[in-house]
Amino acid sequence: MKFFIDSANLEEIRQVAEMGLVDGVTTNPSLLAKEGKGFKTTIQEICAMIDGPVSAEVVTSDNAEQMLKEAHIVAGWHPNVVVKIPFGPEGMKAVKKLTAEGIKTNVTVLFTVTQALIAAKAGATFLSNFVGRVDDLSGEGMVAVRDTVNMVHEYEFASEVLVASVRSPQHIVESVRCGAQIATIPFKILAQMYKHPLTTSGIEKFTEDWNKSGLNFD
């Protein structure tokens, strides 16, 4: 499974770049607004730190022509930029054209397998299925992910399923069970994935026993 980091925070991205486990980055207008730095500068700085797909989202959602203009601007910032397109009829027109031009796309705010099917048919590179926002409403966000992974395999689409709106390590466990190709993970959740109380206590015990033993590497 590929790990993307869901962040526009340059310090977080620097830290995950050092971990060496992160394969790409997803941003969105809310994450960028939170950081308050320039859109282009932020995306270019991210591209300099992570050698992989970096999603930059268009802000128009109801006009394919305008979406294409914005898409061409962000795609011109760095070869690794993937254009993130909000799902909808205009967005899918834009995805079809961008795919024909060889520009990679990440279709976002997907909640159902039927939406994902349309996006896959339009040629989306990544299908961003949001899970946490469904769980927040007492739904089961992973159901659509499971259906979408099966749909992509069954019909042999080239699109990859990207689990987004991740709220806990449990979402990663379920993503693995579904065979999702990618999860985009907030920094805090990635840090939690390293932790287990038995790992901590196990390491402490090994250290304690070793220190008492008088043994060394000679």
> Which residues are part of the catalytic machinery?
84
In whole angstroms, what is the distance from residue 109 CA to residue 121 CA?
16
Q: Residues 6, 12, 90, 147: which binds ligand G3P (CB under 6 A)?
A: 6
In whole angstroms, what is the distance from residue 74 CA to residue 7 CA?
17
Q: Taking CB under 6 A as the rule, does residue 132 contact ligand G3P?
A: yes
CB of 167 to ligand G3P, least distance (A): 7
End-to-end CA distance of the chain: give it in Å, rounded.
40
CB of 216 to ligand G3P, least distance (A): 48
Cβ-based nearer residue to ligand G3P, 6 or 147: 6
CB of 190 to ligand G3P, least distance (A): 13
Subset of residues 19 to 38 that bind ligand G3P, contact rule: CB under 6 A: 26, 28
User: Sign of the C-alpha dihedral, residues 53, 21, 193, 177?
Assistant: positive
Q: Residues 63, 93, 133, 150: which binds ligand G3P (CB under 6 A)?
A: 133
In whole angstroms, what is the distance from residue 153 CA to residue 59 CA?
31
Q: Which helix (H) or strand (E) holds 162?
A: strand 160-164
Binding site for ligand G3P (CB under 6 A): 6, 26, 28, 130, 132-133, 164-165, 184
